[in-house]
Each structure stands twice: as C-alpha cells, then as structure tokens.
Structure 1
Amino acid sequence: MLNWFNINFLKRSVDRLFEESRIYRLIIWLRRYHILILIVAILVTSISTYFCLRIRLESNIISLLPKNTPSVKMLRKIMEKTGGFGDLMVLIESPDLELSKKYAQEILPEIEKKDWVDLAYYEIDDTFFRKNKLLYAKLEDVKTIKQRLDEYITEYKLRENPFYFELEEEPPRELDFSDIEEHYKGKTPRKYNASQDGKILILVIYPKGVTSDISFAKKIYAETLAVVERHNPKRLHPSMKVSVGGTYRNKLSEYYTIINDIKSSALWAALGISLLIIIFFRRILSILLIGLPLIMSLSWTFAITYFFLGELNIITAFLIIILFGLGIDFGIHMFTRYRVERKSGASLDEALTAMVSKTGRSSFTAATTTAFAFFSLTFSKFLGFSHFGFIAGTGILLALLSFLFIFPAVIATAENWHLFSFNKRFNRGLKVETDYEQAKPSSMHKNQAKPFFLIICTVSILTIISLVILPSVKFEYNFKNLRSKSPETRKFNAKMRMVFSEARDPAVVLVDDDEEVRNVVEAVRKKIDDTKDSPVAKVRSILDYLPKNQDEKLKIIKQIKKTLDKNIQYIPDDKRKKIDELQKILEVSYVTKDDLPLAIKRPFLGISGTKGQLVYIYQRHSLLNLKEAKRFAADVRQIRAGGKVYYSSSEPIIYVDLVQILEKDSSIAVFLVILVIFILVFMDVKNVKYSIVILTPLITGVLWMIGIMAATGIKLTIFNMVVLPSILGLGIDGAVHFYHRFQELGPLNLKKVFFETGGANFVSSATTMIGFGGLLSADHPGLNSIGVLAIIGMSTCLLATLTLLPSFLMVLSIRASRR
C-alpha cells in the first residue's frame, strides 16, 4: 500500500525528471544526434515490423479463454481427434437426384486422392445393413421369424405325409414377414446425403487437419473448389449448381471477414485521423511529423506482443487501429504546445524544452494513468480483457516514449531541412497570447460561480436520469447475432439443413473405451429421466450403431440355419424365393465397431489412428439463446460416471464460460481501473479533492454512455464489454491535460485554457473516436458493437470533461478567492 511518503517521493522523482534544466540538456543532446537517433529508431522499427508480420490471428472464440479452462482443454483434445469438428461439403443442386449422383461420382475419385482427405462420401454403403438386418432387428422379431419358419416347415412336412388329410380344405400357409419389415422402414441410415425432394445432394469431406489452421483451411478449400471448377456441372444439366461450404469454409469466411474489416477500418481510420489533424494544424506536413513516431511505437508494440502473446484474438486484432487513435493524442498535445512556443518567439531548443517539460509532463501522467488502467485488465481470465489490457497499456507507454524522445528529433530534422518555417501561413488560425492574467483573490466574485453551478446542476440531473434507467440495459443472449456470416454462408447453411437437420453443435465428451462410453451414456440418460423439462434431448455414441443382444440373436440365427439345412427339401420349388431371401441374411457374424461403415464410425472415432471415442449430447432447444445454453451447459459440463469426472465441450459451452467469466470479471475490472486511475492521479496532483474532481467527469461520462445504451436499446455483448473499463482509461487523458493547463494559466484565463487545451482535447478525442469508428465499417457484428459503444463513451466523456471539469475548477477557485 502506498503511504504518503512514498507518493511524495514518487511525485518529486517525476517532477525532477521533467525539470526544465534536465529537459533542456536532453533536448541539446537530441538535437546534436537527431540523425543518428532517427536511423537507430528506423532500424529498430524495421526489425520490429518483421516480427509484427509473424503474429497469428485467432478468430475462434476459444482464443478468448485461458488454455487451462476445462472446457477449452477438452475442446482442444476433441479438435485434435476430429479435426476441429471440421468438414467440407460439396453441395450439388439439380432437378434430378440421379444427375447429382453422377456428378458426385465424377469428382469423388479426384477428391479421395488428395493427401489431406481422411474420408469423403455422398452415400452410405447400405450393403452392410442389408447383410446384417437380422442382427439389427429386435430380439422378439428374430424369435417371431424363427417361429413362423418352424410353423411353415412343419406344415409342409405334414403335407408331405401320405396319411395327412385336412378336415377342412385350407390353402397352404405363406411365409410372410412383411409386417416385421414394415417396422424398420426408414429406421436404417439413409443411403444418400440428399434432401427429401432429391434436389440437393451433399458430398461430405472429412480432412485430416484442424479448422483452426487457417493455412490448411485455405489450401483444402482452394483445392476442392478447383476440382469443382474442372468438372463443369452445366455439362450435365443447365440448372445444376455446385457450391463448397462446411465448417472449414465458415472459419475461412470469418477469418476473411476480420481481415477485410481490419483493412477497411484501418483505411477509414487513417484517412479520418489524418484529415482531422491536417485541418486542425492546417498543414499536410503535420501528419508526417506526428505520424512517424506513432507508427514506430505501433511496430514496437506488436513486436512485443509477438514475443509475449504470439497471437491476436478476435478483439485485439483491431488494436492497431485503436492505438493509432490513442497514441496520436500525445503528438497533438505536444505539437500544439511546440507551435505555441515557437509563435511566441521561443527558439527551437526552448520550444522543444517547453514541449517536453510542460506538455510532456502532463502526457506522462495521462499516459501512465491510462496505461496502468489498461494493465489492470490483465488479471482477468477473459483474454479479451487481459490481452487487450496488455497490448493497449504497452502501446500507450511506447507511444509516450516515442513522442518524448523521437518526436523532438523528428522536429529538429524537419527544421534543419527547412521543411517548414514559422510564418503566417503555417500558424493561420493559431492565436497566441503570452501575457496570461493570473487570478487574484479580489478579482473573483461569488456571482461568477452561478453559471458554473447551473452547469453542475444540469449535469447532475442527466446523471441521475442515467442512473435510474441504467438497470434496463440488456445483454445480448443470442450468440447468432454476434457471429460473422456472409450471405453466401447463410444460404449454404440453410440448404445444408435440408439434408442434415440434426443439431451440429452438440456437447462432446472424449472417453477412452467402451466401458466409459456406457458409463457416460447411462449417467446422461439418468439426468434426462430425473430432470423435468431437461435441456438435454438425447445422447448418442458409436455403441448405438451396434446391434443389441447379438449373442442371443446369433444363437437363434444358427438354429434357423440348422432348421433350413435339415428341412429345405420339404419346401416346394415355387415357394423357395422367400427362403432364398432369408438364407442370404443368415450368413452373419458378431458385429464390432470396426465393421461399421466408415461414414458411420468416423464422427465417433475421429481421424484415423487417434485414440479414444466421442459421445455426443444433443440439446432440446437452440443454444443460440444464451439462457438455454446456460441450462444445457450446467447439465452437461461435468458428468460423473463410473467414479470419474468427464468434461464435455462445444462452442456454445465455451460461449457460456466466456459470459460467466465476464459477469464476474467486468465489475472487478471497472473497480480496479477506477482505483488505479485515482491512485495515479493523486500521485500527480497530491490532493484528494482535486483527484476526485478530475475523476468525476470521467465517471459521469461513463454513466451517460450507459444511459444512452438503455435509452436506445444498445445491448452489452462479450465484445463491447471491453469498452467499459477501456473508456475509463481513455477518458482520463483530456481531464489531466485540462487540469494542468488550468493550474498553469489560472482561472481568469479559463477561456484560453478551454480553446487551447480544450481544442486539443477535442481533436485528441476525435482521433480516438475515429480510430474506434473504423470498426463501424466492420461486417462482424461483435466488432461493430465495440465501435458504436466506444464512440458514444468517448463523446460523453469529452462532453463531461469540457463542461463539468471547468465548472468544478472555477467553483473551487472562486471559493478559494473568498477565503
């Protein structure tokens, strides 16, 4: 715990670092070696850029949870076994199923030759089920078949007896099993992956890789598409259409959506920020001067990210855009101060010294406060928070260092090369006055406080309204609304569901052997029976595809064979057809898992050569609704069976885990950020009252943001929740700069402070908003929601800072002048 002495010591240490004499010596050194400094900085940036380009992008929501989370550990094991639940599907549409089958048969051999194909099929060989139909029949039905056969043979044996006669003439008994056969119609696996109307046929391909490997996904999708294009479907029928989809295609679609969103968002953000800076400083060169140190700091940041994290997740992928907007704030404030000093007649060394010692000092407080606010997020198990906090905090500190040490060298180089001069054109619109009027106790009157009290009252009313409607803010419970899907993907999935209607996101349990399969299945079925309106619909394993009571059935079948062998001569030739059909299905043996068709066993046994088996637990209701997903996850996340605990997993369960961690960590994150900001601001101003004054507009702005969410129906999501603690860290920057400038110039110069520092605050906030605003062009709905909420939050915090903070400072100054 920091005590008063430690805070004073730290405050004095920072003040000494930014003493004008020290900074002046630093500027002289930077000026002397400015070319060497730039060469070294560019060299370091070049090396950093190499590592930046090696960072992986993880677009899966699994990347938002720690790897040691039980559901994540299980899902990764399952993905290794199954290839990430991965499949590719070639969807064939035509008016005639036979034509679709012909096309599938054409491309199948070429696809099967690919070294990455584990299994490809469009039909299930029903020879196996036809051959073993007696083993798959109910035991009672097998007994009935034997009984009818015995009665049939007995009757014909009697008819062969010369002493046999009938009291009443009746036709001979017919050997009929049609009623039994009727029971099993439609109960065996279908022969083709086709829709009921036969207009859609799907060729399913199971690759040997995993869906998280984007390079592998690109390769197999491209090769499959190439096969389809080589075999033009229009040859067979003008209306035949063929498309390629499946989970690998979905992952690629999401990946490309994110990449395209990054590119478009970065472009719009860069253009918007550049235009704003050019307009504010009224010179194109300004964006080059400010942009160079910023780009360097971004390169250093993501090189560090590569070494410490190695990857970007779906939320941190856009930090390059956001950091561009955040880091440039230091450049705006410092370049503004530099221009003011130069216009007032200061030399280059004097202007750079004032820029670093004064504005650099404020930037140091703002940067460390914002950075440590972000670093406080690293405690969270939600990697969207912790990775965001680490990268953002690191980026802000490196941006500060770049502007403190590289920016002066950049300006010195520009002036030495006569890239700009301080003439009327350069400083157009910049009005500078150096004779600032200091407030005196006798010059302040209590009537001057009335307008500021009115502002405080108005702000208080708006804040109270926000607090009242705050509970009506809702959370986005439908995961479907947060998933990125192209129109083509939606159309493909709709057609695919006409063939595969069963849920494709069941919970999956990985077990070692048949005994464990039976234990897990029994435990789940008991849960279903014991729970009223259970969220679990059914459980399925490979054992469900093995015949029941095989030993008893084989014994009866053996008896049937023996009966036929001994008595076949009694059956008339014209009655032998039924007997021949029966004899064909009597040549059976015990069926094991290995005997099943590959298309049946592959989903349960996974990629060839991997150990273990999979058990699938299916939900009763759609898991896209988080409330139902929570019920389902609570029922199946842990399964106790046979003295062991098994963990199930699936993407919906991962999503539930994410939300539960967020519900726990978000409030802690907000509290920690406020606490860290307060401590760092207090260390800077060394006054509890003024620390609260600086912090109040920030909290007010966040409350207004939440109030606007409640009023407009904007929902919280697992994506935009990262904005809540982030806005606190981002919003403090302007308040710190405003406070320091107000203390420097005094209350009688509020107008100058407002238009000079407030103007810089406006531009700085605007650049940050533009950085986040780049996300508004994102197709991914979750990322889009980050942009919307961040812009609202930055706007409300800026408005609160420019209204509430000056009012508090003026009221306190007026009260002080009356003492």
Structure 2
Amino acid sequence: MEYWKKRVFKILGRISTKYYRVVLVVALFTTLVSAYLVQRLPVDTTFIRLLPDHSSEVQLFQKITQEFGSSTDLYLLVHFNDFDKAKLFVKDLAPELKKLSEIREVRSRFFHLKFFEKFGPLFLSLHDLQRMETLLPIWKPALKEWSQSPHLLTLLRNWRNRLEKEFLLLSLSYPRISRISEKEAIHLEKFLHLCKDYTLNGGKMGEKELQHFLESLLLSYHQSFQGRGKIQDGYLVSPEGNSMLVQIKLNIEPLQTALGMDLYGKIYQITKRVQKKKYPNIRFGYTGHFAIGYEDQQNVLTRIRYLSLLSLLAVLLLFIYLDRTVYGPVLVALPLMLAVLWTFGFVKIVFGFVSITSAIFGILLFGLGVDFAIHFMVHFHAERSKGRSMESSIIRTLLVSGPPILVGGLTTAFSFFALNVSEFKAAKHLGTTSGWGILCCLLAMLVLLPSLLIFLKKFLGSKGEIPIETDIPLIHKWVSWSLAHPRWIFFLTFLLTLVSLFGCSRLQLQYDLEQMITLDLPSIATKKELEKEFHLSTDFIFLVAKSEEKARKYVKKLLQARKKNGKPMFSRVDSITNYIPENQAEKLKILKRLQSAIQDISFPDKASPLVSQELPDLLKELGKIKKIIALFQPLWKNYPQLSKEAEELIQSVEKNHRLENLNFFQNLLYKQFYGSITAFQKISLKPIGLKSLP
C-alpha cells in the first residue's frame, strides 16, 4: 500500500513538473468551458425552488399563490394623534402604492359599511331573528311611541318597561335565565355613563366619537372582525384610538421572490414621501414576513460584505505571514478562483441554476480550499530551504503532504455528498456544490498549483522567490511548552471539558425562527407593537376547502379549538363563509315579515327637545331604572358598575340642569337610531352571493 501511494504521488509530481504546459492548457480549456456555462447560469435565490416538487403541500401552496398572489401580507401600522389626518394619509397613500404592479390591494377599511347596511340583518343568527319576530308585538308599540314622541324620556321609559317585563318572565321561570344578554347590560352601563358625562360637562367625546360609539351599540352585529381592535368609520383602530392597521396584499410570493429584490424598499420610500409631503405628525411602521425578511436580508448582506472583506484580509495576512514570497498569495488565489469557476460550471450541468445554498458555498469555498494551499506551501518552502531544486521540492512535498491533504479533502467532500440522499433540494444543492467544490480545490492545489510554480520559475527565474525561515516562532514556543508541561495541558483540557458539559446540559433547541434573525429591526419592533395593541399576529395558516359546507365546518372546528384553550393560539378565522350567512332562505322570510311590520312607522327628522318641566319625570324614570336594575343583580356581572352609573346619573341631573348638553346627546342618539331603523326598512331581501360580496 505504501508503495502504491508513493508511486501515485510521484507520477502526479512528474506530471505537474514535467508536463506543466499540458496541465495549464487543460486547466485553461476547462476554465473557458466553465466560464461559458457560468455566463448562461441563471441565479434563482427563491426558497420555493428548494422544496420538493412532488410534495402535496408544495403543490397546494403553488396553487394558492397562483390564485391569491401571495401566502402572506404586508402590514402598515399608522400611529396618529388626529384620526381624520390618518384617514387622509391612508387615502393618499393607497393610489401611490397601487401603481406598483406587485401590489394587489391596499386594504384600509376592514368594515364594509354599505355592504352591512344592505345585508346586515342577514348576519344575525336565525334564533335572534325568530326572537325579534316573537318580541315584535312588544317593541313595535315602543317604536311607534318614540316616533310620535322622539326624546330621551321616551327611550328610558321603554327601556324600563322592557326590563320590568323581562323580570316578570324571570319570576315565572326556573332556572332563572335572562333573555337580556350580559352584552346588552354592558351597553346599558355605557349608555348611562354617557348620559351622565354629557349632563356634567358636555361630554368628553366629540361628535364623531360619540356617533361611532352609538353605532357600535346599535349595529354591533356588523362587527365580525375578531381581535382587540375596534372598528371606527370602517377602519381597524387600536382600543386606545391612536393607531390604525392597514393590510397590503401582494401579487408576488415572498418565497418565490429572489433575494435582493427591492420591492419593499420602493414601498417604504413611497410611504415616506407621502408622509413627509403632508403628514409630518404621522408615524408609521411596516411588518409582516415580507418586511422582516427584506430588512433581515439587507442587514445580513451589508454585514457579509464587510465581514467577507475582513475575513479575506485576515486569510491573506495569515498566508503572507506563513509564506513571505512575492508570488505565494497570487499563486494560491488563482487556483482557488478557478476551482470556484469549475464548481459553478458543474452546477450548471447538474442543476441548471444557482440556488441560495449554492451561492453561499461559493464564499465558504475559499476558506476550505486555502487549508490545502497552506499545507502544500509550508512544506514546499521547507524543502526549498534545504537547498533542493524546484522539481524535487514539489515531488517531496506531494509525497509527504499530498496523502493527508487528499484524505482530508476526500472525507470532507464525501461528507457533503452524503446530503444528496435527502429529498430537500437545499440539502442536495449544498451537498453537490460543496463536495464537487472541494474536489476541484484538491485538483487545483495538487496538480495546478505545482504546475504554476514551475511555470513561474521558467518565466521569472529566481526573482520572485525569497528564502524564508520555515520555523514559526509562535508555534514552536507553544509546542515546546506543551511538551514540557503535559500536566497543565491535561488539566486545562479537563477544565474545558467540564465547562462544555455544563453548557451542553443547559442547551435548548430554539424553534422560534424569529430568534434567529436580527431582533433590532424596525419591522420586528412594529410586529411587537401590532401584537400588543391589536392582539394580532402577522402569521397565518391556509386551509383549502372543496365546498362551502366544508369551509363552514373548518371554521366552526377552529373556533371551538380556539375557545377550549386558556390562551387563544390565534385571534381570528377569516373565511369567505363569514360573508355568506347560513339559512338565508329562512332568514329572508322572517326579515320580509319584520320589514313589512315596521313599514308603517315613520320618524320625524329631529328629536323633540327636552324642557325643564320634564326634568322631574326624567329623574323619576331614572329612579325606576335603578330599582329594576337591582333585581338583575344575581345575573349580571357588571351590576355594581351599572348601579353606580345609574346613581351618579340621577345625582348629576339633580345638581346640573344643562339641558343643552342632554339635548345634544339626545339628537345624536336619535339620528343614529333613526338611520338604523330606516336602513332596516330598506334592507335588501335578496340572498348574498359571491357577486354581491365587497
């Protein structure tokens, strides 16, 4: 075995030294062919190309992206002090963003008011509509009374009558179950609080804010959006009322987007330009997978540029320290660059394109290949320092350093080639590119580098060669100290092992991919603000249903699973079925009867103003409401606060006779109620189909 090993490397040395011209010609030809292939080598850094084509999940994903454009969205979080200014900012921004072909939709309004005004009652449950029809004889006279006497006193009287009748029914039933929901009790509490607030100081809410609040009381069934945010004029606003969420739908899929694509940069610059032009007080931030991926990519690429230059400089300085010849660094760099070129020529033949994993390995190949060069050049200079000829030094270097270089390179190459058994394309690309790249480096260092040394000698003679001291003082001192103090070496090794074992015991697998990216990105900060203010995440999961019936089953099961957990794992379930109510035929029949029953009720344009003579009656009515509320104490969790609001309202009316404030409140209330009844009288009695969706 030893004989054949020496024979092989002697032959290799003779080829490199005697037939160096043939080696250089073959290397030149291979380089030209590789350059031709690389010139036509497409670069595709999209992650979707690395997933298995035959996978059902991948095929379904591709189908979804073809139909909907993208599997993820871009989210714009707008912070404001003036809600109207924020609306104008979004309205000005939307058409500018839509000029980009990659933008499918800018969704700023999550609540389609006109759609729900036309079809809203269809979204009530069949049970609620049947209950409304059952209670029609009770509340129709109340509506007629209010239409004839439209002021606050009439409304309070009707509310009190309803509570009294409800308690009478409760006293006759067991167990005692109230048909007045706890949600309605909360509405009553807020209503009494607003009455008190306007009586005392004219109200802290402005006219628009009060109108939005009353709309939420009367049209609460419209708000099907789940989450912590509130709907204000159709926009999704944080509970604190200082931020707005805008959803931007893309025509492109981030997983199918090449690295370096500057779409997000364009979107951000457009937004910044609109903000600077008219809205300096508006603050905004983008988040979502697309934003986070782009910012992290730019951050990493920027650092890689500097770190690559730094690492290349460090390798160069190390090599100059080890090899102090003029031509040494050049002779090593040239074969390495050619090895990289040969590698990507092979990639063109095998895969046809460069993936992200192949591109990254091109950088690593310099670090792996330079090891072979250092082994070869250090031993070569050691032989030259003994006075041997160039040819003899090369052959002796190959005989001594060649086998370990070859064995080390082959084991590394075949370790990478083992990745080809994986079905994951990224692993195959990495394994093939890395394995072949290391083999090319071996070939370049064991055959091409010796030939270049001979060629350089023939061309320059001995001008570029400087005799150097092959002993490295630092390494010599370290080895000498290690041999003289073996106990210290064993002790330090044992100590390092204990520290490592302690660290391994505390080692945990990190499944959160967010922890693997740069955490100080603006998009990460915006993502945390979104989660805090709206209890919403930028992550979502696609489910594909083959029919409307299956889609409804999926939604119901998901909502049940969400409610079972103590902490909800997801905030909402969006489906086309959320906009197509069930049992439409039965609901339309009931709505037709209800609509017919209230068509004869007409309201005046304005509410009747409260006068001072009506104050005693108002106080009397409030006192009755306070007493009847006490009867529901066991059933309503908010009873203490509700009772407190009723008591404080009575005291505020007794002490403050500001009728203009109550009249202002009453007019807004009447206007909203009148609009709701009128809308109910005009609702469409046609079923909702796909064509009628917003």
TM-score class normalised by the smaller sequence: 0.5 to 0.7
CA contact (8 A) 2:324 2:468 kept: yes
Which residue type is aligned with residue 311 of structure 2?
A
Deviations 1:720-751 (A, max 9, x none): xxxxxxxxxxxxxxxxxxxxxxxxxxxxxxxx
2:39 pairs with 1:50: yes
Structure 1 CA distance, aligned partners of 2:588 and 2:253?
A: 41
> 2-side partners of 1:471 and 1:347: how far apart?
56
Report the Cα offset of residue 281 of structure 1. 1.2
- What residue number does 1:87 align with? 73
Distance 1:211 1:292, change over 3 A: same
Cα distance in 1, alignment partners of residues 18 and 682 from structure 2: 98
The question of 1:200 aligning with 2:228 is answered no
Find the counterpart in structure 1 of residue 335 from structure 2.
293
Q: 2:469 aligns with which of 424, 429, 450?
A: 429
1:584 partnered with 2:681 = yes
Corresponding residue to 1:185 among 220, 223, 230: 220
1:283 is paired with a residue whose SS is coil
Q: Give the superposition deviation at 1:380.
A: 3.7
**Residue 552 of structure 1 corresponds to which residue in structure 2?**
586
Match of 1:248 in 2: 290
Name the CA shift for 1:146/1:242 in 2 (closer, same or farther; >3 Å).
same
For 1:589, give the aligned amino acid.
Answer: K
Name the residue aligned to 2:18. Answer: 28
Task: Spell out the pairing of 1:409-428 with structure 2 (5 A cutoff).
Answer: 409-418=451-460, 420-421=462-463, 426-428=466-468
- Tell me how far 1:192 sits from its aligned partner: 0.6
Q: Give the letter for the 2:235 counterpart.
A: Y
User: How many positions carry a matched residue from both structures?
Assistant: 551
Name the SS of the counterpart of 2:544 in structure 1: strand
Code of the residue aligned with 1:430 in structure 2: it is T
2:412 aligns to what?
A: 370
Distance 1:352 1:588 in 2: 94
The aligned counterpart of 1:714 is none
CA change 1:38–1:314 in 2 (3 A) is: closer
Of residues 531, 535, 540, the one that matches 1:501 is 535
What secondary structure is seen at the aligned counterpart in 2 of 1:591? coil
Which whole-Å CA distance do the structure 2 matches of 1:340 and 1:287 have between them?
17
Q: When the two structures are superposed, what TM-score results if normalisation uses the length of structure 1?
A: 0.58
Match of 1:122 in 2: 108
Per the TM alignment, residue 543 of structure 1 is displaced from its structure 2 partner at its CA by 1.6
CA contact (8 A) 2:580 2:689 kept: yes
Residue number in structure 1 paired with 2:8: 17
The one-letter amino acid paired with 1:105 is: K
In structure 1, the gaps of 5 or more residues are 1-7, 159-169, 433-449, 598-819
CA separation in 1, counterparts of 2:217 and 2:4?
Answer: 90
TM-superposed deviation, 1:539: 5.0
Pick the aligned partner of 2:119 from 88, 110, 132. 132
- Does the C-alpha gap of structure 1 residues 374 and 12 become closer, same or farther in structure 2, counting only changes over 3 Å? farther
| Deviations 1:14-48 (CA, angstroms, capped at 9, x unpaired) | 55432x25632552111x44664564355345335
Structure 2: 5+ residue stretches without partners = 146-153, 163-179, 188-215, 226-230, 473-482, 608-672
> Could you tell me which amino acid in structure 1 is paired with residue 454 of structure 2?
A
CA shift for structure 1 position 94: 3.2
SS in 2 for 1:511: coil
Evaluate the alpha carbon distance shift between residue 23 and residue 110 of structure 1 in structure 2; reply closer, same or farther with a 3 A threshold.
Answer: closer
2:575 pairs, out of 538, 541, 558, with 541
Match of 1:716 in 2: none
AA partner of residue 47 (structure 1):
Y
- What is the aligned partner in structure 2 of residue 806 from structure 1? none
Aligned residue identity for 1:99: K
Distance 2:45 2:335 in 1: 25
Distance apart, 1:404 and its partner CA: 2.2
Give 1:552 deviation, angstroms: 2.0
Q: Is the 8 A contact 2:77 2:284 kept in 1?
A: yes
CA contact (8 A) 1:377 1:386 kept: yes
Counterpart mapping for 1:144-223 below 5 A: 144-151=131-138, 182=217, 185=220, 187-189=223-225, 190=231, 191-214=234-257, 218=261, 220-223=263-266
**Residue in 1 aligned with 2:615?**
none
User: Percent identity among equivalent residues?
Assistant: 21
Write out aligned runs for 1:393-792 (5 A).
393-418=435-460, 420-421=462-463, 426-430=466-470, 461=494, 465=498, 469=502, 470-484=504-518, 486-497=520-531, 500-521=534-555, 524=558, 540-564=574-598, 581=678, 583-597=680-694
1:269 aligned residue (311, 323, 327): 311
Pick aligned residue for 1:303 from 329, 340, 345: 345
**Alpha-carbon contact 2:38-2:348 (below 8 Å) kept:** no
1:757 match: none
Q: 1:393 Cα shift?
A: 1.7
User: In the TM superposition, what whole-angstrom CA distance separates every residue of 1:375-420 from its partner, at most 9, and x where no partner exists?
Assistant: 2233345666544333222111110111122212221232223275
Please tell me whether the aligned partners of residues 57 and 311 of structure 1 are also in contact (alpha carbons under 8 angstroms): no
Shift of 1:477: 3.7
State the 1:153 CA deviation: 6.0
User: Does the aligned pair in 1 maintain the 2:73–2:250 contact within 8 Å?
Assistant: yes
Query: Is the 2:357–2:426 contact (alpha carbons within 8 Å) kept by the matching residues of 1?
Result: yes
SS for the counterpart of 1:118 is: strand
Distance 1:97 1:498, change over 3 A: farther
Partner of 1:441: none
Whole-Å separation in 2 of the counterparts to 1:355 and 1:420 = 19
For residues 247-303 of structure 1, the C-alpha deviation after alignment (integer angstroms, 9 at most, x for no partner) is 333232233234334323321221110010001112343111111101111222233
Residues 278 and 26 of structure 1: is their aligned pair in 2 closer, same or farther, counting only changes over 3 Å?
Answer: closer
1:116 maps to a residue whose letter is: E
What whole-Å deviation, never above 9, does each CA across 1:169-189 have from its counterpart, x for those lacking one?
A: x99996999969847538344
- Counterpart secondary structure, 2:19: helix
1:555 Cα shift? 0.6
Q: CA deviation at 1:88?
A: 3.4
Q: Provide the C-alpha distance between the structure 1 equivalents of 2:441 and 2:561, rounded to a whole number of angstroms.
A: 56
In structure 2, C-alpha distance between the alignment counterparts of 1:224 and 1:430, rounded to whole Å:
58
- Residue in 2 aligned with 1:652? none
How far apart, in 2, do the equivalents of 1:341 and 1:274 lie? 23
User: TM-score w.r.t. structure 2 length?
Assistant: 0.67
Alignment of 1:96 with 2:97, yes or no, is no
Structure 1 contact 88–206 (Cα < 8 Å) conserved = yes
Q: Is the 1:209–1:216 contact (alpha carbons within 8 Å) kept by the matching residues of 2?
A: no
Change (3 A) 1:580 1:383: closer
Counterpart residue number, 1:633: none
- Residue 135 of structure 1, CA deviation: 1.3
- Selected match of 2:393 from 347, 351, 372: 351
* Secondary structure of 2:687 counterpart: coil
| C-alpha spacing 1:364/1:151, structure 2 compared with 1 (3 Å) | closer
Residues 556-594 of structure 1: CA deviation (Å, up to 9, x unaligned): 1111233345x569x999999589626534333212344
How far apart are 1:193 and its partner, in Å? 3.4
8 Å CA contact 2:536–2:571 kept in 1: the answer is: no
Displacement after TM superposition at 1:524 (Å): 4.8
Q: Which has the higher contact order (CA 8 A, sep 6+)?
A: 2
Verify the 8 A CA contact 2:295 2:521 in the aligned structure 1: no
Structure 1 or 2, whichever has the larger Rg, is 2
* Shift in CA distance, 401/521, structure 1 to aligned 2, threshold 3 Å: same
Q: Deviations over 1:459-499 (max 9, x none)?
A: 98569747964544332243321124552222332344466
Identify the residue that residue 437 of structure 1 maps to in structure 2. none
